[in-house]
Structure 1
């Protein structure tokens, strides 16, 4: 029959049992079990303080570490994370500078480890990197390019859709507004743009996608009625290529944060939803550090535009070398009494300028913006409109 093997824990229990009989001295027990007298006294002390639980193997990690993060900083990190559940270690760390000195604040890795240890970090899905598609609109100063879009609609608690209109400066990432609408209409968008323009001034360009009411791939130069209003204000509309939202990636990234903060879950009705959107705008502009801005906030970077909003749109004087024609209610201009060149219904009642290039080719402008060409040699059928071309073949 083989010898039984005993574990360390079993030997400790046997040692205590022999000691409790009182028949043996500490020296005799130590010699019998092959341990030192200090070890024997340590086992007896643990047993007296904690019972048999104290005989289990103890952690060898030191109770205190000279470089350990102080308890009050750990509590502040946890408190900030609970307040800003969607923020990571980098942004949480920046907020610590408001309470502690630079020497006291731990590194980003340490902040992340503290959050992970307390179960406040959830693994994120790895994002697929998309190769950049040109053109990419990368302004060099504030108010050079603004971005605008309707973030994807989502249902509120009352089962009605909310369509948030967002307008932001592409350089500073300053979010001017996130306005909830019931529908994506020209009237609603124009009213909110007017409000923003009166407060912050107007930019040089506005970058949007090709969705209504901003643009249309079927229209001349993709311009819509809203685009022509921008042109009248002295703003140039620019568009992402169709099916390439990544060309306005910084605005789409902001939409991801807005959706997580305001639509998961959404509020009951539009009034309550707007309060959430307003809170997000304030936090995004003044509290949330932005990595692309060297961990500053958009409000720290943004400057007001020096171009004020014109309350009344002034008339435009075309050059004397251009013929000025009025766009009819059908969206076309009459050419030589009985021919028609169709432009767009968005310009009805407005005046365009046309310039001859030679050989019957004419260029068409609205104010200082080029729209397209038409060839008068192709105007063969009377009372039938010919569409404007954007390129000469």
Structure 2
């Protein structure tokens, strides 16, 4: 009789028991159980090699597949994942081309499936969909816009905070530096910017947020002492809108990778932490493929700036159509001997130019940058300072 679907295993055991008695030939057993001779010999062979466990239903999947990924490639994928644990299938696949031919390297999906099969893929948290924000500073070439920021502070092993300053090219994503500081101040930032400018040249613009020492929402045009130093070098400072870090999203995304690589956990002291930051910069620029760069590295894309860093601030001569006034110690300019117009304390001792645009309204410039306006008709109180306005009403 044929096998019953519900008692298949019982029928197999009964067949083996009958065969072991030696009372029946294979032909008689096959006739009684309604199976073929090849099936009977297969069951006997499995029983002799594996015991009763060999009678269980076997997988029908082929043991070998002509399109299966080569074992050496699988081992290489697992090895690369162990070396770059935060990278996904796309980036790991690019590195396979260093050791294998184009025909041998599997697809991104295959690489992902191999990683998933070996438990090397962490499920990502579903992100809430938000309205897309288009970048307001989208450079078309290298060194047109650089971005800079202090990565959020984190505690090192010695219970002291590290404040990493990062500077990168917005087009190529090339990371010039990730320098750990004890404090976020003008001296530390200016020293590191000087070092980077001497090595890579200077950009046309530097894009930052509004935090110290880059910008201040209370200052005229948000400029700080660091901003005015950029202006003196011929660099235009530009800022994200307050509370909108997504406007410099590519820099913030890099910060996420930096935090995962260098701050979880952090090193014991700043010297050890700086070694981690330097390793991250080297890997980020030269090894890690970037999806926005067609899976090339930032080092493959970036070009040095053709504008060298001037060791001495170049002198600036205002046009003769302007009136030139000196910013006093209180951050103001004196107007008609006894009136004061407050500009900024960051320009103390420097010269600004003013231009009459009619109806008693004057424009105020520092070098070639417009700072704001003032209306001399509103200067009513002697010896009392009036602040600049950024827009005409």
| TM-score bin (small chain) | over 0.9
Q: Distance in 1 between the 2:37 and 2:359 partners?
A: 113
The aligned residue for residue 176 of structure 2 is 176
Gap change, CA 1:134 and 1:350, over 3 Å in 2: farther
Contact 1:151 1:165 in 2 (8 A): yes
Gap change, CA 1:134 and 1:80, over 3 Å in 2: closer
Q: Distance in 1 between the 2:334 and 2:226 partners?
A: 24
- The gaps in structure 2 that reach 5 residues or longer are none
Could you say what secondary structure the match of 2:341 adopts?
A: strand
The 5-angstrom pairing of residues 343-382 of structure 1 reads 343-382=343-382
The aligned residue for residue 55 of structure 2 is 55
Q: Structure 1 stretches (4+) deviating beyond 6 angstroms?
A: none
The 5-angstrom pairing of residues 133-282 of structure 1 reads 133=133, 136-282=136-282
| Residue 369 of structure 1, CA deviation | 0.3
Contact 2:135 2:248 in 1 (8 A): no
Could you say what secondary structure the match of 1:354 adopts?
A: strand
| Residue 135 of structure 1, CA deviation | 5.9
| Residue 134 of structure 1, CA deviation | 5.9
Gap change, CA 1:48 and 1:133, over 3 Å in 2: closer
Contact 1:364 1:370 in 2 (8 A): yes
| Residue 128 of structure 1, CA deviation | 3.0
Q: Distance in 1 between the 2:105 and 2:134 partners?
A: 41
Contact 2:201 2:308 in 1 (8 A): yes
The aligned residue for residue 13 of structure 1 is 13
The aligned residue for residue 126 of structure 1 is 126
Contact 1:227 1:237 in 2 (8 A): yes
Contact 1:157 1:266 in 2 (8 A): yes
- The gaps in structure 1 that reach 5 residues or longer are none
Gap change, CA 1:130 and 1:5, over 3 Å in 2: closer
Q: Distance in 1 between the 2:213 and 2:132 partners?
A: 26
Q: Distance in 2 between the 1:231 and 1:11 partners?
A: 90
Gap change, CA 1:39 and 1:172, over 3 Å in 2: same
Could you say what secondary structure the match of 1:141 adopts?
A: coil
Gap change, CA 1:111 and 1:313, over 3 Å in 2: same
Q: Distance in 2 between the 1:130 and 1:183 partners?
A: 34
| Residue 5 of structure 1, CA deviation | 9.3
Q: Distance in 1 between the 2:57 and 2:154 partners?
A: 56
Contact 2:147 2:206 in 1 (8 A): yes
The two structures have a TM-score, normalised by structure 2, of 0.97
Residues 313-370 of structure 1 show CA distances to partners (whole Å, capped at 9, x for unaligned) of 0221000011111101110011111110001100001000011111211100000000
Could you say what secondary structure the match of 1:7 adopts?
A: helix
| Residue 392 of structure 1, CA deviation | 1.1
Q: More deviation in 151-160 or 104-113? A: 151-160
Q: Distance in 2 between the 1:343 and 1:284 partners?
A: 42
Could you say what secondary structure the match of 1:246 adopts?
A: helix
Total equivalences in the alignment? 390
Q: Distance in 2 between the 1:206 and 1:386 partners?
A: 30
The aligned residue for residue 288 of structure 2 is 288
Q: Distance in 2 between the 1:6 and 1:51 partners?
A: 21
| Residue 133 of structure 1, CA deviation | 4.1
Contact 1:146 1:169 in 2 (8 A): yes
| Residue 127 of structure 1, CA deviation | 2.4
| Residue 6 of structure 1, CA deviation | 5.9
Q: Distance in 2 between the 1:49 and 1:55 partners?
A: 10
The two structures have a TM-score, normalised by structure 1, of 0.97
| Residue 263 of structure 1, CA deviation | 1.1
Q: Distance in 2 between the 1:303 and 1:11 partners?
A: 76
